[in-house]
Amino acid sequence: MSRKTSGELMAEKVIGVLGGLGPWATLDLFEKILTLTPAGRDQEHLRLIIDNNPKIPDRSPAIFGTGEDPTPALVETARNLERAGADFIVIPCNTAHFFYDAVRRAVSVPVLHIMNEVAASAGDAVPGLRKVGVLATAATVRSRLYHDAFERLGVTVVGPDEQGQDAVNRAIYGVKAGRMGPEVTRELVAVAAALVSGGAQAIVLGCTELPFVLREQDLTVPLLDSNLILASAAIRLARDPGSLMASAAPSRMP
């Protein structure tokens, strides 16, 4: 592996991670960035600034109108990252993207959009993709952010029935509580299999807790891990700053 010069290292951009939504998902993103970065020594890894802020109010109740608005805390955490030197920001939480536009407007650095990154990468991962199944929080499903991102590309999004959605919600909040056993995986595999039977050609892990309990080898179709895709995008943009602005496209207003 060739060694980077100090000038090349300085040209790399600093990744800001708006984390804690939840902490396990933030840890997963960090590990994936480390694993995917081609580095032979400490100095060849990318610089990250992580604000792991689990005190941000739960996004799902807010979307359903039963909980505290997380927007002020999301905005302030994003501003913390910008003040600390982040050149762009990633948010390893799908549901939080309901509030994406407020965060994007609050800072002068780009903010990547996880749904747009997943949709943009899906065609390469699954040639001829026409229908995709999404496993996500009920609030993310209700927001239709994945529907919007994929439908712009001519891809139909399908989700679980009510019973399946309940299983997905249990799995997500179980991971947040540290429950990641094989019984959770079995329940999710059944939900995903139903979507595949309905024509889904791939399954999106549309919640960043789900990689802990559902993996590619568990399914018969490709698995699109939103946290892995976000990590890849962050690495690409940090190492190729010229593509940064083009990738940070605005989303629709919630």
- The pLDDT, as a whole number, for residue 242 is 72
Which of 112, 207, 223, 230 is an active site residue? 207
CA–CA dist 17, 91 (Å, integer): 6
End-to-end CA distance of the chain: 45
| Contact by Cβ (8 Å): 33, 49 | no
The structure tokens 């993103």 sit at 29
- The pLDDT, as a whole number, for residue 249 is 43
Which of 21, 81, 91, 93 is an active site residue? 93
DSSP state of 111: B
Ranges of residues in the chain whose predicted pLDDT is under 70: 1-10, 241, 243-254
Tell me, letter by letter, the H, E, C secondary structure of 39-88. Answer: CCCHHHCCCEEEEECCCCCCHHHHHCCCCCCCHHHHHHHHHHHHHHCCCE
| % helix, strand, coil for the chain, step of 5 | 55, 10, 35
- The pLDDT, as a whole number, for residue 11 is 86
Reduced to 3 states, what is the DSSP secondary structure of residue 225?
strand
Please choose, from the candidates 248, 239, 243, 246, the residue with its C-alpha nearest in 3D space to the C-alpha of residue 13. 239
- Write out the E strands in 111-251: 131-135, 156-158, 203-205, 223-225
The per-residue pLDDT for range 213-232, each reduced to its tens digit, is 999 999 999 999 999 999 99
Q: Find how far residue 231's CA is from the centre of its chain.
A: 8
DSSP state of 207: S
Please choose, from the candidates 155, 160, 94, the residue with its C-alpha nearest in 3D space to the C-alpha of residue 119. 155
93 is catalytic: yes
Please choose, from the candidates 1, 20, 160, 9, the residue with its C-alpha nearest in 3D space to the C-alpha of residue 80. 20
User: Which domains can be identified in the chain, with CATH numbers?
Assistant: 6-113+228-247 (3.40.50.1860), 115-226 (3.40.50.1860)
- The pLDDT, as a whole number, for residue 4 is 59
CA–CA dist 72, 146 (Å, integer): 24
- The pLDDT, as a whole number, for residue 139 is 97
DSSP state of 221: S
The per-residue pLDDT for range 147-197, each reduced to its tens digit, is 999 999 999 999 999 999 999 999 999 999 999 999 999 999 999 999 999
- The pLDDT, as a whole number, for residue 8 is 58
Which tokens sit at 116? 């747009």
- Write out the E strands in the chain: 15-19, 48-52, 88-90, 131-135, 156-158, 203-205, 223-225
